[in-house]
Each structure stands twice: as structure tokens, then as C-alpha cells.
Amino acid sequence: MNSFHRHGDALRCEECPLADLAEIYGTPLYVYSMAALEENFNAYRDAFSPADPLICYSVKSNGNLAVLRAMAGLGAGADIVSGGELFRALTAGIDPGRIVYSGAGKRADELRMALDAGIRMFNVESEPELLLLSRIAASAGKTADISLRINPDIDSGTHRYTATGGKETKFGVPEADAPALYRKAASLPGINPTGIDVHLGSQITDIAPYRLAMERLVALAETLRASGIDCRVLDIGGGAGISYNGEKTVTPADLAGVAIPAAESAGCALVLEPGRSIAGNAGILLTRITHVKRGAGKTFYICDAGMNDLMRPPLYGSYHRIEPVADDGGGAVITADIVGPVCETADFLALGRAIPECREGELLAVMDAGAYGFSMSSNYNARPRAAEVMVSGRKHRFVRSRETYDDLVRNEMIFA
């Protein structure tokens, strides 16, 4: 199913014309499809059904409460990387017993918050974190189930800013150091080593890195078991990419094909942490062209959405398809830079893009922006962040109202 599709010359989300949503809610506007979220989650549930895994949706990809509530309703847990994400997950009704806590820099107050909430597991990323968690858990009379996040030094073939499984990154414990650190964990008060975790990065489009990582984790599980440490959970992380421009990528079925046999071989239950592959193509960013500027042999479509609304193109050089909301397919195609109003040369949505010729006031849809779109947005240039709308069939409503100028200064005070 394609939740974003054309009916005649008009682009729709499910049964709602995007032009109508722009008229009602204004722009810039993030629009999410409930049907797409459900379909993408169910693709994981169906592919992994023989293993009955714990599917922990990655909150950092899109933490809107309506998205999280939808995930909770589908039976998902949550993969979190901060106390704020834990708060969001709990507020949305996600069972704390289905939450895993990743991240390289967990603070003491965040660890206490997660312990008090009774989360399922901590994915510990360093010896200092392990020792801190032990002290906090022991002083509270609690026991924390943990896995160690293994850094297997595997090239995942993704952008260097989104690769997390190489030895040069800040993430995880070097594979060679893991057995000794597991033995130490087993000796510490308040710590129960129960799992093994790996996360190779984001926007991975080849199954080969996963296959290699699974082989390494199975071997580690056998080594640990031989030394008396019986880890029974295999957390394979997330990171499966989506197709932004027609490229082939990793599917849930591909991932299940390597992960389920590995878990069976290791005698482990499975945990997985998908995010982008659930939320990415379930959302678009709707923007209006405010000016068409021509000069020096170049055309600029200057839009009301900028890099503060969608950081991925300037940060990663990422590609997003951009389509006119109204397009009968008969217009001339030109080459244009599609840019925003932010005072930075890096403020662009696309450079040198072939696109139908548009006029001022026309709407553009930036496709596949449901993951790492709003969640990475900011108030740079004192710009209120975009609103968010959820669509289900013919129904639609704000799931985050548009910020106001008062919101920009609400928590500030003048020093006098």
C-alpha cells in the first residue's frame, strides 16, 4: 500500500488531499499516515513471527506521542537513548517491561529513573557505565538486567555519521574486551548479565553486515556460556534502511532470515529496534514556495521549510524525493535548488533537482521524512517548529500544534 499517492493530479495522504491539510493547518507541516505506520510495524511482526521477538520501536526516529501510542497499541516496546525518551514512551502508554535503554552517555539520574520505572534491559556501552549502574542499583536494592553493546568493528556501508559498529566510534564495547567485562558484570552487585546487544548503524541497505554480526554474537554467546554466563537475549539493534530514491534495501524478511537462525543457534530470545524503517516513509514534510528566484543561470524555489525543519540534507547530504502537490504531469521540467529561509548557505532541501516548473504559492511534498525529520528539528533563526498532523483514512488532526513566538521565549528570563 502507498499511503501517499495521487488521485488525479492531486497528492493525498490516505484519503486526505494534502492541499486541504495545508489550508487547514498551515505550512511547514509534517503529515503522518497511520496506515503506513501500522503496515511497516506489521511487516516486522509477520517476518519475525516464528521467533516471537520483542520489537522495540526506536523513539529517536520519531517520538511524537501519537506515533508512540500507535506503536503501543500494536504491541511494540521502545528503544530509548535518554531520560526524555523514557518519559515520552511511558507517557504514551508503552509498557516499561518492554523498554530497552541504549546510548553511550547515560547519566546517573537517567539510570535511576529507568530503574524506578522497571524497564526490561539496559544496553550497557562501557565499563564506567556498568560500574555506575551497579552502584545505583545496589544502593536502591534493585537488580538491573543488562546486555553489553558489542562493537564488532564491522563496516555497515552507511554514512560515516550514522555508522556505529566501527572501532573508531564512541559506541559499545570492543568485541575482544567483552568476555572479561561480562565476567566483571556477573560479579557486581545489582547487575544481572542477561543479553548481548549490537547496533551497526542507520540506513543500512545491505544484509551482509548483519549476517557477519550475527555470526560474531552467536560465537560470543557460546564463549560466555562455557564460562558460566548464560545470556539468553540477543538484541540485534535496528538500522535497516528505507528506499529514498528507488534503491534496494534491507527488508524485515531479509533481517529475519539471518537473525532467527542465529538466535535459535544461540538459544536466545530476540529483541530488535527498528525506527526509520517504520516511520520513514510514513511521513512527509509539506512546504509552500514563497519565492521563485532566478539569476546567474540558476532557479531557486525558496520555501517556508528550511534546515531547521529537516536537517538531514545539509547534515548527511541525504536525498529526499520532492514532488509538487498538484501536478498533472504535463508541465515543463526544470533544474532548481529547493531551499529554505534560514540564514545559512547549507539551508537546502535539494540542490540541482529536476522538478516540474512551479509558481510562488505552490505546495511541495518532501517525501519519506517521517524519521529523523521533526525529531531533529530546531528553533534556529528563532523559527517556530513545524506542526504535526496524523491522518487515518478521511480523519486528520493535530498531533502537535504549531509553536508560537511566545513558545520561543517561554522558558527564558531577562537578567537585570
Q: Report, as residue numbers or ranges, the catalytic residues.
A: 343
Per the DSSP assignment, residues forming a β-bridge with 231 are none
Distances (CA, A) of 83 to 3, 114, 116: 33, 8, 12
Exposure string for 230-255, b = 16+ CB within 10 A, e = fewer: ebebbbbbbbbbbebeeeebbbbebb
Supply 261's cell numbers.
537462525
Going 153 to 159 to 161 to 162, the CA torsion angle's sign is: negative
- Alpha carbon distance 290, 47 (integer Å): 45
- Alpha carbon distance 398, 10 (integer Å): 22
Nearest of 144, 147, 159, 139 to residue 123 by alpha carbon? 147
Distances (CA, A) of 394 to 4, 12, 33, 42, 249: 13, 10, 11, 22, 31
DSSP per-residue string spanning 297-362: TEEEEEES--TTT--HHHHH-----EEESB--S-SPEEEEEEE-SSSSTT-EEEEEEEEE---TT-
**CB under 8 Å to 410, separation ≥6 — which residues?**
none
Supply 141's cell numbers.
536494592
Query: Omega of the bond prior to 17 within 30 degrees of 0, cis?
Result: no
**Coil vs helix vs strand at 158:** coil
